[in-house]
Amino acid sequence: MKGIHHLGLAVSDLEGSCAFFCDLLGWSKIRTVEEYPAIFVSNGSVMFTLWQTNPQAAPFDRKNNVGLHHVAILMDSEAELNQLHQKLAASDSVYIEFAPELLRGGPASHMMCIEPSGIRVEFIWTP
């Protein structure tokens, strides 16, 4: 096995989740499949498929559901992590669960946010 080809995420707000990845994170929309509907997004290294689900779907409860707990995206630098935090904190569509902090005493740092469909996204930098 060589790695993950793509990660499929069921989202309640397809356009909002696409905007999170493309407008806020700078990823590219690779293609749209209207009949699902789904939007494929990528940063050139990773591809996610955003699948539209019921807009009233219950948000994930990490203690009572089986499923994706969160997705962790590796950052190039601690400065990039801090800049992204500032950008996401200024957005009305993103909830910041916690700002950049040391991961288990460091030296790695990470932050956690919730994107428009309720998916927890961690951003992590490791030296």
Supply the CATH number for residue 108's domain: 3.10.180.10
Domain presence at residue 98? yes
Confidence of residue 1 (pLDDT cuts 50, 70, 90): confident
Look at the chain and report how many structural domains it folds into: 1
Q: What integer pLDDT is reported at residue 105 of this predicted model?
A: 92
Distance between CA atoms of 32 and 84, rounded to whole angstroms? 26
63 domain residue, yes or no: no
Summarize pLDDT for 101-113 with one digit per residue, the tens: 999 999 999 999 9
What pLDDT sits at residue 60? 74
- Per-residue pLDDT tens over the stretch 70-93: 999 999 999 999 999 999 999 999
In-domain check, residue 40: yes
Q: Is residue 105 part of a domain?
A: yes
Q: Which domain holds residue 77?
A: 7-54+69-125
Query: Residue 64 pLDDT more than 90?
Result: no
Pairing mode of beta strands 120-125, 71-74: parallel
> Is 29 within the bounds of a domain?
yes
Asked whether residue 64 is assigned to any structural domain, the reply reads no
Which amino acid is present at 46?
A: V
pLDDT of 57 over the 80 cut: no
* Contact criterion met (CB below 8 Å) for 118 and 67: no
- Burial of residue 41, with CB atoms counted within 10 A of its CB: 0-12 exposed, 13-18 middle, 19 or more buried: buried
The predicted pLDDT at position 59 comes to 74
